[in-house]
Structure 1
Amino acid sequence: MTTAKSAYPTPIEDLVPQARQLADELGGLPSRNRLMSELRIGAKKANTVLDLLGEPTPEPDPVRLHLVAEPDSNDSAGQATEPLAEEHGEAENPEPEPVDPGPVERDKPDESTAHGQPEPVESEQVSKIVNPEPPTVGKPVARWPVLLLALPAFVAIWSGWVGLGGLTGFGIVHPLPGIWSGFELNTAITLPIGVETYAAYALRVWLSGQVPHRARRFAQISALGSLGLGALGQIAYHLMTAAGMTSAPWWITTLVACLPVAVLGMGAALTHLLHTDSTEVTP
């Protein structure tokens, strides 16, 4: 049995005669799914037609099939006839029909094909980090030759600074008058102790490589300056002694008298830098 297709929903009054004709052909009351298939109606209308036929609505078929519209012979493009809007709303289980994207969307190229497939990003080859073997530490160099070399230098430097101190007004003093009047101290020994000791200390800080940048820079400048002053002091003493002078000129006396104060200032500044810039260590 075939029914005429229409773009508008078929009224119930027209469907009942067609359903009775189908029941006569089958020799019994058709099922709801058969009515939906033959009359191309929804489940709601099929139930109504069955009620009008005077029989109770049979149980729905457990197997639910998707209704596919027959191709329209009059359609030159060969496209399937679109299902009725009412059937879409009333049918229980038909799959949703694809929506025609229209000429604009249909002609729009796919973004993935328009732009092309994304090129795979080549992963950079990362070389395996191999921990280098720690350098072999040999036997440390003995330090006793340094003491052997420093001993004659210490004697010469000590005698030169003490002699220069005598020529520039340094001499015997009583540091504890009224307390220990017999205690005497030659202030000339403050020159070699102060200048040369600070030079050695600043040199050690400079070459250690384990101190802040500013401290290391200050230690470098002050160490070289102290060693230079020590060398000039030795030169001045030996020249004045060779010339038979018993007292130094006033400008030499002025410079030598300022050395203890300068050593104190440089030592305090270097110690301050070592303890304030601990985060800026420069190897």
Structure 2
Amino acid sequence: MTAAKSAYPVPVDELLPQARDLATELGRTPSRNQLMTTLRIGAPKAREILERLAEETPAKASNPAGLHVVTEPTQTHDDNPADTQSESTEVEPMAESEPVPAEESEPVGGTVSEPITAAADPDKPADDQAVKSVAVWPVMLLALPAFVAIWSGWVGLGQLTGFGIVHPLPGIADGFAINTAITLPIGVETYAAYALRVWLSGQVPPRARRFAKYSALGSLALGALGQIAFHLMKAAGMTEAPWLITAAVACLPVAVLGMGAGLAHLIKDNHREVQR
């Protein structure tokens, strides 16, 4: 059987003989989609041809399986190639309800269940699975003797460089006194630990991370030099530090304040940029 010519529009009377030939080849009444594909026509003409074929042939003779044509509401379409191409994708009347995909179908038991999370596969890389947190208590055990040694070293160095007992509230609390030597271990070592945490966290911008990296390494190096200076002077029996060491140690509180404020501003500025 030859398909219809490409001339538009083609009258239904000219298409009927081709539709009858197609019905003879199939042994039954062709479906709407088959008529649309074979004759290259739109849905309205295919429905009209089906109605004409149904009038000419008894339903059981032309359709032994007992199938019937389901007509759809008439819509206005222009017989042009664009409509033919878009309408040729319509579903056949026989398949009014398409099977629902497995993931959209109702779960067993008729209740909606939570998404099933796949169990961890031991063969998968470690980064694809939940990483078990590492215990922190060994770090505290290691830091305790280091803290005692560093504290005593900084306090001793502070006493050799002029740090000592002061009364910060004269006239208010004359009996309140504080040894300013404790400001060295608290300031230098605390900032070093904080900057090290910021550097290794990976949660700060590149500028803040770079600043934290170099300032943390610098603070640790200053702490090591301070410990070396104190123990050398202590072993030599010195009661006062040379003026160069005294000048350097006197600048440490100011340096720690500047580095801490700078790092805090860099981190805060990044949070503002992210919010924008």
Provide TM-score, normalisation by structure 1. Answer: 0.51
4+ residue runs over 4 A deviation: none
Distance 1:147 1:137 in 2: 25
Which structure has the larger Rg over C-alpha atoms?
1
Q: What is aligned with 1:188?
A: 181
CA positional deviation for 1:136:
1.1
Q: Name the amino acid aligned to 1:178.
A: G
The answer to whether the 8 A contact 1:212-1:279 is kept is: no
Q: What is aligned with 2:209?
A: 216
Distance 1:176 1:147 in 2: 35
CA positional deviation for 1:172:
0.2
Q: Name the amino acid aligned to 1:153.
A: A
**Counterpart mapping for 1:28-47 below 5 A:** none
Distance 2:228 2:269 in 1: 38
1:7-47: CA deviations, max 9, x gaps? xxxxxxxxxxxxxxxxxxxxxxxxxxxxxxxxxxxxxxxxx
1:199-252: CA deviations, max 9, x gaps? 000000000001011000000010000000000000000000000000000000
Q: Which runs of 5+ in 1 are unaligned?
A: 1-131
Q: Name the amino acid aligned to 2:174.
A: S
Distance 2:166 2:155 in 1: 14
Distance 2:129 2:166 in 1: 56
Q: What is aligned with 1:246?
A: 239
Q: Name the amino acid aligned to 1:246.
A: T
CA positional deviation for 1:139:
2.1
Which one of 263, 269, 276 corresponds to residue 276 of structure 1? 269
CA positional deviation for 1:280:
7.5
SS at match of 1:278: helix
Distance 1:148 1:179 in 2: 41
CA positional deviation for 1:194:
0.1
The answer to whether the 8 A contact 1:169-1:253 is kept is: yes
**Counterpart mapping for 1:48-197 below 5 A:** 135-197=128-190
Which one of 256, 264, 267 corresponds to residue 260 of structure 2? 267
Tell me: CA distance 1:183–1:265, structure 2 relative to 1, closer, same or farther (3 Å): same
Distance 1:189 1:274 in 2: 28
Distance 1:279 1:264 in 2: 23
CA positional deviation for 1:137:
1.9
The answer to whether the 8 A contact 1:213-1:280 is kept is: no
The answer to whether the 8 A contact 1:165-1:191 is kept is: yes
Q: Name the amino acid aligned to 2:129.
A: T
Distance 1:221 1:280 in 2: 23
Q: What is aligned with 2:218?
A: 225
Q: Name the amino acid aligned to 1:233.
A: G
1:93-141: CA deviations, max 9, x gaps? xxxxxxxxxxxxxxxxxxxxxxxxxxxxxxxxxxxxxxx9961123211
Distance 1:218 1:229 in 2: 16
CA positional deviation for 1:279:
7.4
1:160-194: CA deviations, max 9, x gaps? 00000000000000000000000010000000000
Distance 1:158 1:219 in 2: 23
Distance 1:158 1:279 in 2: 37
Question: Are residue 234 (structure 1) and residue 227 (structure 2) matched?
Answer: yes
Is the helix fraction higher in 1 or 2? 2
Distance 1:142 1:277 in 2: 31
Distance 1:261 1:220 in 2: 19
Distance 1:144 1:228 in 2: 25
Distance 1:137 1:155 in 2: 37
Distance 2:183 2:272 in 1: 35
